[in-house]
A and B are shown apart, each in its own frame.
Chain A
């Protein structure tokens, strides 16, 4: 039976699921294909931190929009999605970083995001496990945490409730020019194809300017109350946005279970999941320098995951030049969970020819291409363009 689809989405991580929900809600006949089921990939491997990130106007616009969408959705999320409005504390180690805190507050304010500055004493009261002598922090109360696989499963269930179909047992071997071919030879046709494959997007489209950026996470046993907010060091952005090299930054999340997720690390060039012990050591040392007691907690598991990183830290959302049917929804690096809902909105708007709530141009994939013939420009990575 050949069904005709309006949209076929490859990839059922949280971004694909969000796109499916948006498309299905607009009455589009939507199919989602992912051999690994719903909520795998980076969705399963990462921290579920919903955070407004201020490293560029386009980033703050996208994350703020999406954070709002999550807050609106939160009442509908099932308990297993573990949504909690924990808030983020951007921790300042010294007075120099407090200047950065004040600058950050101004940037957030101009984007309409309310924040509060805590001095050293207030910070110590808010988070007693932090080391003594920190200068303070910026509190972003509207940030939240959740458990991404359950949230993705919810989004997909909603999509299916509104008529979408999930094809969970077949790998996609090619997707473009209105055709999606599956491993078993079956061909699906749709006017619109959305590539939401995350770090695997280059399997279908090798010329995408996406590189795998690996991260480590440690999860502990249950220590309820050890940490109350998501704690991130101000240096996180330096780590997340250094173009090359391995880096570790302090980033700790309390889960609803009372477990702690300890991150974060970034490295290029790692292709498998074997732990990089020296990078792990750096990450744990960093965490311990902010939370001296963390070394005494029992760790249950360490794992790695792959972020899809683009040269300018913004995702690829929008039409892929040279293929009128293809829309990208990938390259979200460490912000896939946060920006999944907004990505869904932008993708659906693109497909329906609507004007989205925020300008979509900054995320268009075309920004990396020269001319209209679709020839890829040299990427900002230089020689190592892929991988």
Chain B
């Protein structure tokens, strides 16, 4: 891949990625999970194609973003495990 010249933050950790990197990949570079399940399990992407919804993160304050289909852009603020859902 090309030069990692896009800078974004994942859970306030700075991550540098190459253009064409998905937010899901960036999230897994910074940590180990994208979301927390309704019963509190850590979850990460499963299908890689926008169908399983395990890759949901918060981007720039917007909840439930399917990060495997969104490319990283400079300055994005990504938060993982912010579902706050409960049974």
Is A–B contact present in the complex under a CB 8 A cutoff? yes
The 10 A-B pairs at the shortest CB distance, nearest first, are namely A222-B85, A221-B64, A298-B64, A224-B84, A258-B85, A222-B83, A257-B85, A223-B63, A224-B85, A258-B86
> By the criterion of a CB under 8 Å from any partner CB, how many residues of chain A are at the interface?
10
Q: Mark A210-235, 1 if CB is under 8 A from B, else 0.
A: 00000000000111100000000000
User: With contacts A257-B85, A258-B84 known, what are 4 further pairs, Cβ within 8 A?
Assistant: A221-B64, A222-B84, A223-B63, A258-B85
Give B39-87 interface residues, CB cut-off 8 Å to A. Answer: 62-64, 83-87
Residue pairs across A and B with Cβ atoms less than 8 A apart, 13 shown, are A221-B63, A221-B64, A222-B64, A222-B83, A222-B84, A224-B84, A224-B85, A224-B86, A256-B87, A257-B86, A258-B84, A296-B62, A298-B64
Instruction: Please report the number of residue pairs spanning A and B whose Cβ atoms sit closer than 8 angstroms.
Output: 21
A79 / chain B contacts, CB cutoff of 8 Å: 87
Q: What is the minimal beta-carbon distance from B71 to any residue of chain A, in angstroms? A: 20
- B interface residues, Cβ below 8 angstroms from A: 38, 62-64, 83-87
List the interface of chain A (C-beta within 8 A of B): 79, 221-224, 256-258, 296, 298
The complex places the Cα of A194 from the Cα of B14 at a distance, in Å, of 67
The smallest beta-carbon distance between B41 and chain A, in angstroms, is 16
Closest Cβ–Cβ distance, residue A90 to chain B (whole Å): 28
CB-defined contacts of B63 to chain A, threshold 8 Å: 221, 223
Min C-beta distance of A254 to chain B, whole Å:
13
Instruction: Please indicate the chain A residues that have their CB under 8 angstroms from the CB of B83 in the complex.
Output: 222
Contacts of B86 in A (CB 8 A): 224, 257-258
Closest B residue to A223 using CB positions: B63
A223 to B84, alpha carbons, bound, how many Å? 8
A222–B58 Cα gap in the complex (Å)? 13
- CB-defined contacts of B62 to chain A, threshold 8 Å: 296
| Cα distance A384–B76 in the bound complex, in angstroms | 59
Bound-state Cα–Cα, A224 to B82, Å: 11
| CB of A129, distance to nearest CB on chain B (Å) | 14
Give every chain A residue within 8 A of B85 (Cβ-Cβ).
222, 224, 257-258
**Distance, CA A256 to CA B85, complexed state (A):** 9
B62 (CB) vs chain A CBs: closest residue:
A296
State how many angstroms separate the Cβ of A233 from the closest Cβ of chain B: 26
Tell me the complex Cα distance, A162–B84, Å.
Answer: 40
Distance between Cα atoms of A256 and B38 in the complex (Å): 12
Chain A residues near B64: list those with CB within 8 A: 221-222, 298
A222 to B56, CA, bound (A): 12
CA distance A224 to B84 in the complex (A): 7
| CB nearest to B66 among chain A residues | A298
Closest to A225 in B: B84
Q: Give every chain B residue within 8 A of A298 (Cβ-Cβ).
A: 64
Given the complex, which residues of B lie within 8 Å of A221, measured CB to CB? 63-64
Please measure, in the bound complex, the distance between the C-alpha atom of A223 and the C-alpha atom of B83, giving whole angstroms: 8
Q: Give A224's nearest chain B residue, CB to CB.
A: B84
> Complex: how many Å from CA A288 to CA B8?
33
Closest to A298 in B: B64
**In the complex, A79 Cα to B39 Cα: how many Å?**
14
A117 to B: closest C-beta gap in Å: 32
